[in-house]
Structure 1
Amino acid sequence: MRSLMRKPRPARGYHSVAAPRPPQAGGGASDAAPTHRDPAPSRLAYKAHRLWLTPTFRALLRVGLPVGLVLLAVGLYFANPDNRTHLVDTYTQIQRSVQERPEFMVKLMAVEGATPVVADAVRDLLPIDFPISSFDLDLEAMRLELTKLDVVEKAALRVRPGGVLEVAITERQPVIIWRHDGILDLLDRSGHRVASLITRNGRSDLPLIAGAGANQAVDEALALIETARPLGPSLRGLVRVGERRWDVVLATKQRILLPEHDSVAALEQVIALDQAQEVMARDLTVVDMRNPLRPTLRLGEPAVEELRRIRTLEFGADDQ
């Protein structure tokens, strides 16, 4: 009987599962059925995870955030005026201590390629208080200031070893004298003013030109003067007429009127005629070559009177 009343054993390999207990009325939370955790992340955690996987956001946190903190700290430091003043003073002291080292100091100035008068003018134009740091010299501004002198064609400045400021000057070479408005100016080949003259005898070795606009045609004037060399000392100079053509003035008060174009060829024609027939040795006042195809000679007053007398005699002989 006792064996018949034993409970049956579960089959081997199987576990018995207790039957769920029915909920009891009036039971507490401890008696409720257990809840399982949802493995899916929350929406906020999902968005944060996706944001962290973004390369831009990761770079911003790794680089941008430290840089921003540093800039914030620097900004807060410089917001104080005392800090700014202290930093500027420190930088200025360091800068001056480097610039005023002996190897950077300029002690004197040497002017080369200039006459004594021009050299004195250069020193007066550049009043430098030596010794001075080479960092305080604006060489380009000084060069431009020197080129304002009429006599200076080119200027070059450099600091040589040993603390010497070298100023190399190239002076303009006067080739002609220009008389205008009662003033005598020396001009170079380009027509640029070099200096002024008090008297013509100051540079008697240079030819003379006159008239408005003569300085704009110096090359043509020099070519005419070279062509008129056979005239010798009788050549007095050239006069610009109407700012478009030249008159050759001789010491005998004779004039050769040249055309606006091909003036050198017209003067060569007059020189050839003079060498063949000594035209300029006669009593002429003007040789008009403004039209090279029809040269015109203007006689002097004595020659005109003599011509009238000869014609009167010829007409009187015809009447007889």
Structure 2
Amino acid sequence: MQSLNASRTPRRDPAPSRWAYRVHRMWLTPFYRAMLRVGLPVFVLLFVAGWYISNPTNRYAIVEKVGEIRRSIETRPEFTVKLMAIEGASPVVDRAIRDMVPVEFPASSFDLDLEAIKAEIAALDVTESVSLRIRPGGVMEVTITEREPVVLWRRAGGIDLLDDTGHRVASLKARADRADLPLIVGEGASDAVTQALALIDAAGPVAPRLRGLVRVGERRWDLVLDRDQRIMLPETAPVAALEQVLALDEAQDLLARDLTHIDMRNPARPTLRMTEPAVTELRRIRSYESGDTQ
């Protein structure tokens, strides 16, 4: 009887339980597998890191260590700038740049704000273009192109050097400091430098007598010669009007006569103004001729 009862004992079902089946299905899901393989380790690491950083002492130690590593890199010889070399600058501009750049050498290249230094140098009136770079060997090279002054502009505040675009280059204390450059005078003269240069070039035949150009009403030029002679040019086509006067001078020695003004504001009807002695003499001659006639 016992053997029959033993043989009737139910066998264990090999199928998984309901919970085991659900866990197995979840494990086969890519999202849950990624969460367990990646998300859980990351969470643990973040938790541990957050707990470690929450301690002020640990934070201070981390900051100090990072600063120490940074200083050790920045102070390496290959990152040290030992001097500044300036190319293309005159001695005066060279000294000005060295005085205005607030850097004490040697210095780390990480501490140099090249863009700020470049902007400061570019702000100089004399600077046309500037470039900066760190050369091998710890040299900060500054390459500058200076504006070339072509005229002097006398204004109420003094005398300025201007380039061919009318941009200010520098100031002068006296006209004699740059006697080799032509002079322009008057309000708005700096805005018409190109036209002034064309007139100066056209006035080549009388260049030794040229004293300067005067801007009148910010719209036209007077060309001033020695002996207080003045050629009053029109607002439009002033070069052509000047060439007309020079042609008359070549043919009839116009500028050698006792004239104070040659008015070419209307090129079709030039007007001459004589000196006072010449006017007096002309009146005397006319009076004499009138007396003879009578």
Query: Which residues in structure 2 correspond to 1:66-77 (within 5 Å)?
Result: 66-77=41-52
Instruction: Give the alignment of 1:241-280 within 5 angstroms.
Output: 241-280=216-255
Relative to structure 1, is the Cα distance of residues 301 and 182 closer, same or farther in structure 2, using a 3 angstrom cutoff? farther
Q: Residues of 1 paired with 2:287 and 2:16: CA distance? A: 141
User: What CA deviation, in whole Å up to 9, does each residue of 1:221-278 have, x standing for no partner?
Assistant: 1111111110132110001111111110111111111111211111111111111111
Report SS of the residue matched to 2:131. strand
Identity %: 63
1:172 positional shift = 1.9
Equivalences, count: 286
The 3-state SS of whatever aligns with 2:245 is: helix
* 2:79 equivalent in structure 1: 104
TM-score (normalised: structure 1)? 0.79
Q: Give, in whole Å, the separation in 2 of the partners of 1:79 and 1:260.
A: 79
Offset at residue 179 of structure 1 (A): 0.5
Question: What one-letter code is carried by the residue in structure 2 that aligns with 1:306?
Answer: E
Secondary structure at the aligned position of 2:45 is classed as helix
SS in structure 2 of the partner of residue 114 of structure 1: coil
Alignment partners' CA distance in 2, 1:46 and 1:308: 134
Change (3 A) 1:303 1:87: same
Query: 2:60 maps to what in 1?
Result: 85
Any unmatched runs of 5+ in structure 1?
1-39
> Which amino acid in the other structure matches residue 265 of structure 1?
A
Alignment of 1:150-229 (within 5 A): 150-229=125-204
Q: Secondary structure at the match of 1:129?
A: coil
Between stretches 281-290 and 111-120, larger displacement belongs to 111-120
Q: CA deviation at 1:61?
A: 3.8
User: 1-side partners of 2:39 and 2:116: how far apart?
Assistant: 45
1:212 and 1:64 mapped to 2: Cα distance? 76
Give the CA deviation at 1:317.
Answer: 4.8
Distance 1:285 1:310 in 2: 20
Deviation at 1:284, TM superposition (A): 1.3
Equivalence for 1:7: none
Cα distance in structure 1, aligned partners of 2:57 and 2:220: 75
Task: State how far apart, in whole Å, the 2-side matches of 1:169 and 1:68 are.
Answer: 57
Q: Indicate which of 247, 268, 274 corresponds to 1:299.
A: 274
Larger Rg: 1
Q: Cα distance 1:206–1:47, how it changes in 2: closer, same or farther (>3 A)? A: same
Q: Structure 1 290/57 Cα, relative in aligned 2: closer, same or farther at 3 Å?
A: farther
Q: For each residue in 1:31-52, what CA deviation from the matched residue of structure 2 results, as whole angstroms up to 9, or x when unmatched?
A: xxxxxxxxx9999888877766
